[in-house]
Amino acid sequence: MGQLFGVTSYLNIIETRLRNSNFKFIIRFLVILTSSSVFIALTGCLKTFFSFSLYGTPISYPLILATFLVIYSVYGLNKITDTEEDQLNAPERSDLISKHEKLFKYTAVSAYILAVIIGLLYGWQVLLVLLFPLLAGVVYSIQINPRIPRLKDIFAVKSLIVALSWTVGSTFLPIVDYNVNLMIMLLIFYLFFIKSFINTVLFDLMDVEGDEKTGTRTIPVVIGASSTIKLLLILNSTLLILIHVCLVYGLFKMFLIPLIFCIIYGYVYILYFSRNKNRFKMDIMVDGEWILIVFISLLRMRM
**What is the full per-residue pLDDT of the chain (303 aa) written as tens digits?**
444 445 555 556 555 655 555 556 666 677 777 777 888 999 999 999 999 999 999 999 999 999 999 999 888 777 666 655 555 555 565 566 666 567 778 888 899 899 999 999 999 999 999 999 877 766 766 766 666 666 666 778 888 988 998 899 999 999 988 889 999 999 999 999 999 999 999 998 888 877 777 677 789 989 999 999 999 999 999 999 999 999 999 999 999 999 999 999 999 999 999 888 888 888 889 989 999 999 999 998 777
Cα dist. 108→7, 21, 25, 145 in Å?
36, 34, 25, 24
Query: CB burial class (10 A; 0-12, 13-18, 19+) of residue 279?
Result: buried
| C-alpha to C-alpha distance for 40 and 178, rounded to whole angstroms | 28
Cβ-based neighbours of 143, under 8 Å, separated by 6 or more: 149, 150
Contact indicator for 76, 107 with CB cutoff of 8 Å: yes
